[in-house]
Amino acid sequence: MIDTAIIGAGPYGLSLAAHLRSRGIAFRIFGRPMDSWLNHMPKGMMLKSDGFASNLSDPQGTFTLKRFCADRGIEYADAGTPVRLDAFAAYGLAFKERLVPEVENKLVESIDRVAGGFILRLDTGETVAARNVVLAVGITHFEYLPSSLSHLPQELATHSFHHHDLDRFRNRDVTVLGAGSSATDLAGLLHENGANVRLIARRNSLLFHSRTEIGKRRPWWQQIRHPSSGLGPGIRSRFFSDAPQLFRYLPERLRLHIVRTHLGPSGGWFAKDKVMGHVPLLLGYKVERALAMERGVKLDLRAADGATQVVETEHVIAATGYKVDVDRFRFLSADIRSALRTADRAPALSSKFESSVPGLYFIGLASASSFGPLLRFAYGADFAARHLSLALAKSVKHAAAPVRSPSTATLSSGQ
């Protein structure tokens, strides 16, 4: 039986694994490395987070995105220069090769409780026993499709999570739903890829972040009223960025409201010029009904004042975000899912990221309802990895043999 199994090999899973190995904790990590970034976000996308807030976490804090870009000759700035999706994904893979080479590109099909831990069954047929399990699956499993579209076949309506290569939409009529960065990025990229695209949003206007000006010194009073943070400027963002443990002590209802609303739908500053004046906008409308037609979809729209619009399109892409729901973890046994204490369908966690099922931990988006907006972004990986690795180091039995450095040893995937 191993000490810890990590499910997911994105920024959170890789960061935790790097910290566990530095502490000599025996683990195995399963998943497709950087899968969401490589296969579920549109090519050409830019990250909304600044460069300094887009690092994975290693114990020494030395293998940063800045260092990676410098080594590869990739344009980089701590702020003011967008981080390209392909650069960030390549950085994650380089982090994996350097610090977590034992990632196993396998999927976990089921997890059951047993005495003293858990049994994991992999898609290869292998079974693995582990004392602790950490779910670090990111946005996978959580895409939210509006009920007005849920009855449509995938040939006509999909979630943005399912679109990496946009070439299939060249010369086609596409409608994007949403007002956030996923929606604006997607609409702008579809336009650049030759699609006839429009954007529909419930909001009456689109919001875009302001570009951070490098080298411009702000007055002291602005620095106090709008301090910088990994989540952007502002006192609230600074608190959520620096004090996720204190966030846990807020009333549950307030915590859930903050996670839903803080840093609400808004695009990156770089997306504004790609959308405004290029993509037709229908703002202030919601989809009241969607009907499948022979060559596409008919959307009946309604505004708050009762005004209506009808749109006919070949395909609808819902860039409508993600909603955590433990019932979507179908690989968890019914026994485990029924034993999980939740808050608005998200797992309720202890200060150590542990759920109400002893030995089962959640990090990343699934932990945001407990620790705040920080855990919705890659920037939260450092906090999660450091705190959870420390907690696991205190509770698990260390491996009998010391873990060798990945730079000087070839490690088997069965560690």
Q: Could you tell me how far CA 319 lies from the centroid of its own chain?
A: 14
* Tokens of residue 145, six digits: 């499709």
Classify residue 298: in a domain, yes or no: yes
Do residue 123 and residue 135 come from a single domain? Answer: yes
Amino acid at 371: F
221 lies in some domain: no
Nearest Cα neighbor of 360 from 143, 101, 57, 137 is: 137
**Is the same domain home to 329 and 297?**
no
**What ranges make up the beta strands (E) of 173-284?**
173-177, 196-201, 281-283
Regarding whether 293 and 347 lie in a shared domain, the answer is no
Q: For helices 65-72 and 85-99, give the axis angle rounded to 10 degrees.
A: 100
Same-domain pairing of 167 and 86: no
Handedness of CA 106, 96, 409, 20 (dihedral sign): negative
pTM: predicted TM-score of the whole model, two decimal places = 0.90
* Residue found by looking up tokens 């779910």 in the block: 135
Q: Supply φ then ψ for residue 311, to 5 degrees.
A: -125, 130
- Work out how many domains the chain is built from and give that number: 2
Residue 246 lies in a domain: no
Closest by CA to 365, choosing from 213, 282, 260, 257, is: 260
Q: Which of 76, 310, 64, 277 is nearest to 175 (CA)?
A: 310
Identify whether residues 57 and 21 lie together within a single domain.
Answer: yes
Q: Identify whether residues 97 and 34 lie together within a single domain.
A: yes
Considering the domain boundaries, does residue 225 fall inside one? no
Domain of residue 312, CATH code: 3.50.50.60
Q: Are residues 27 and 86 in the same domain?
A: yes
Residue type at 248 in one-letter notation: R
Q: Does 299 lie in the same domain as 362?
A: no
Phi, psi of 254 (to 5 degrees): -70, -40
What are the tokens at 164? 């990496």
Question: What is residue 248's DSSP assignment?
Answer: T
Which H/E stretch holds residue 172?
none
Q: Residue 236: inside a domain, yes or no?
A: no
Residue 130 CA from chain centroid, whole number? 25
Does residue 230 lie in a domain region?
no
Shared domain check, 121 and 57: yes
The verdict on residue 249 lying in a domain is no
Q: Are residues 69 and 180 in the same domain?
A: no
Please report whether residue 12 resides in a domain. Answer: yes
Query: Which domain, by its residues, includes 289?
Result: 157-208+266-318
The rounded radius of gyration (Å) of the Cα atoms in the chain is 22
DSSP for 331-368 reads TB-HHHHHH--EETTEEP--TTSB-SSTTEEE-GGGGH
Q: Is there a single domain that holds both residue 314 and residue 387?
A: no
Residues 202 and 311 placed together within one structural domain of the fold? yes
- Show the tokens assigned to 337: 């899912």
Residue 408 C-alpha from the chain's centroid:
32
Q: Which of 325, 320, 330 is nearest to 148 (CA)?
A: 320
Would you state the pLDDT for residue 155? 95
Half-sphere exposure of 282 (CA within 13 A, CB side): 21
Low-confidence residues in the chain, pLDDT < 70: 212-226, 396-415
Dist. CA 403–CA 23, nearest whole Å: 8
**Could you give the count of Cα atoms lying within 13 Å of 390 in the half-sphere of its Cβ?**
8
Choosing from 253, 286, 318, the residue where a domain stops is 318
In the DSSP assignment, the letter for residue 92 is H
- Strand pairing of 83-84 and 46-47? antiparallel
